[in-house]
Amino acid sequence: MTGRDRPAEMAELADRIVGAVTGCAAVAGLTGAPGGPVATYLPGRTISGVAVRDGEVEVCVVARYGLPLPEVAEQVRQAVAPVVPDRVVDVVIGDIAVAGSEQKKAGVP
């Protein structure tokens, strides 16, 4: 399934992924990847930080400072895996939020 095939299903899937990712305690928000966009393009909107592709999902997050980055990535993978059991989940740490700094949760309506 690609976004062109079923935009309504793709939008619902991307929104569920956003919910799973932003529910992670180690994640301050979603962001675009350094060096290239990570996004799902839908009719009328773009979800930054989540790219849904055939066979894989790429998620680019802003990690909260303090937890080792491999643990942040694993937390995200574990949260997203039940939403997309048939896809590989790739996690990119695009930035780190220091305590007290404000981070915009990109892609969250």
Tell me the C-alpha distance between 94 and 10, whole Å. Answer: 23
pLDDT tens sequence for the chain (109 residues) = 444 457 888 899 999 999 999 999 999 999 987 777 889 888 889 999 999 988 999 999 999 999 999 999 999 999 999 999 999 999 999 999 998 654 444 443 3
Rg (CA), the chain: 13
CATH number of 7-97: 3.30.70.1350
Query: How far lies 95's CA from each of 2, 18, 54, 78, in Å?
Result: 28, 17, 26, 20
Q: Is the pTM of this model over 0.85?
A: no
